[in-house]
Structure 1
């Protein structure tokens, strides 16, 4: 594996606008995309479980300066903080300090969730999985001299700009992403151990993973201002003071670099395989398992388990910054990227799509063309006909004329003119179903099922289609 050569090539040909995940003819090099989206700086790192790492910085630490982004430049890690905090919490579970399925009231002493006497129990697991049903909150940060305490955030007091943390949904009933879950987790971990959160996470995660350029301490960027990327609003406007302070440390308060974020995800990948000295296999597996059936979030971990895109990690957006850190377990490779701009997400999606194509190694087996020919139904009024003509599959949707599908080596097909990806999927002994992916949305068309004719009746009955999307 030649990481430097791989990524010099990949960053020279990124999708300008990602939709299906397939490389389109509309590509651009990284510097061009940075200019298009007014992103001053980007830092990228790629690592393998073998220990090989490649990292590079691009652009400047702040608009109007010439100070370059380097591989040791720190950025706000935004909601990747939750991923690291969850790792620390699971290490406390492993040590017997916390129980995943215990009521949070067993640990909280400094603050209590209001209305608990009328509520079902809220557990540590539900906080980690965003299923506790707490207030819907996104944290925007504060000027350093106006930041409230965490208790004020929980209570809605002082200078806080967010509502008090309250139960608003039935605990465990569904997933709803909210920073308030991790603010409660932060206070719970502090109360359970008696240690300041930034010290606790340094001991549980940062020091064991050699993350020396990372910290939850909000004084960290002030202590090394020449090595911190300044945040920017859309259009390249600098954040007054350079960055904002986040008292909600577990939810959004980590400072880090891509090179160091890789270490966490690669350690989790090792743990899932039973090869970590820090986290046992069972807890790591739970971390990477959807906590709601069919969901895409584990314990502090974003999950994508599609065969051609299997990865886990976390994304993040704070005022002034965007980032992601993911591992592709099938290839043992992780990629992290951070920008100092709120407009950085489109750029990051292009980088992540390139990594998907390179590292999601599980491939789809091509269906024998003769086995998939026939009529499929997306809706009662939308038939799709697949035919085998001169050895090629043709596709005709509703009233459209047939077109020849273009075969990919991985078993998928493309429409020659549209942003449409087609694949045929079969599980066990069931017939093939037709999956259509357009702009990241997947729809399923099922075979038309012919029913035996009855006296006075003719025609067919069609299964109701399953539609999925992200």
Structure 2
């Protein structure tokens, strides 16, 4: 789904529920999933801002703007950590394995993990490695570049987060080395 699609979804959530997307996502999805060090709120709450990484440009200098406030919160507004993102990944894997009901029904997760347009599910990018379905997503905002990939039906995956505009080459190298070391077959080359 493109940024525009997420923005429309965000507006629908706000219109239907009468609360901000940030509040809805925090209370209806992130907290129930067990993610506690995350938010869609902007400006970043003090408790999280104190622990947030500085954002660096391509030359290694701290961006003068502390953090961008993106109006498209659903597409570009999640603040989280690798450990918190792992909770989401493991939650989705557990639902698919039938180990937990979770906050989303298994049929909904199956739909999310079905290729609908090119290599995209309903949210994550989808690919196959050795006949195993892989889901993933990247993120790129001012001073931050991130990527995760995980097997749908195995408890394996990887997350790389960087606080630099040039983080793509970093996460590509790290993911390639992890994949080679653990012989997972997951690389950064495909979605």
TM-score by length of 2: 0.87
Q: Determine which of 4, 16, 30 is the counterpart of 1:192.
A: 16
Q: Determine which of 167, 171, 183 is the counterpart of 1:348.
A: 171
| Conservation of the 8 A alpha-carbon contact between 1:330 and 1:360 | no
The offset of 1:256, in angstroms, is 0.5
Aligned-partner SS, 2:37: coil
Which 5+ residue runs of structure 1 have no aligned equivalent? 1-129, 131-177, 363-439, 441-468
Provide the rounded CA distance (Å) in 1 between the counterparts of 2:131 and 2:170.
21
Q: Determine which of 279, 282, 286 is the counterpart of 2:107.
A: 282
| Conservation of the 8 A alpha-carbon contact between 2:3 and 2:75 | yes
The offset of 1:325, in angstroms, is 2.2
- Kindly report which structure 2 residues correspond to 1:455-470, keeping only aligned pairs within 5 A, or say none: none
- Kindly report which structure 2 residues correspond to 1:10-409, keeping only aligned pairs within 5 A, or say none: 130=1, 178-220=2-44, 222-278=46-102, 279-292=104-117, 295-307=118-130, 310-357=133-180, 358=182, 360=184
Q: 1:345 to 1:221 in 2, by over 3 A?
A: farther
TM-score by length of 1: 0.37
Aligned-partner SS, 2:94: helix
Aligned-partner SS, 1:183: helix
Q: Kindly provide the CA deviation profile for residues 143-172 of structure 1, in whole angstroms up to 9, marking residues without a partner as x.
A: xxxxxxxxxxxxxxxxxxxxxxxxxxxxxx
The alignment of Structure 1 onto Structure 2 pairs a total of residues equal to 187
Q: 1:353 to 1:310 in 2, by over 3 A?
A: farther
Which 5+ residue runs of structure 2 have no aligned equivalent? none
More strand by share: 1
The offset of 1:277, in angstroms, is 2.1
Give 1 or 2 for the bigger CA radius of gyration.
1
| Conservation of the 8 A alpha-carbon contact between 2:132 and 2:153 | no
| Conservation of the 8 A alpha-carbon contact between 2:7 and 2:74 | yes
Q: 1:265 to 1:359 in 2, by over 3 A?
A: farther
CA RMSD of aligned residues (A): 2.3
| Conservation of the 8 A alpha-carbon contact between 1:286 and 1:299 | yes
Aligned-partner SS, 2:32: coil
| Conservation of the 8 A alpha-carbon contact between 2:93 and 2:153 | no
Q: 1:264 to 1:224 in 2, by over 3 A?
A: closer
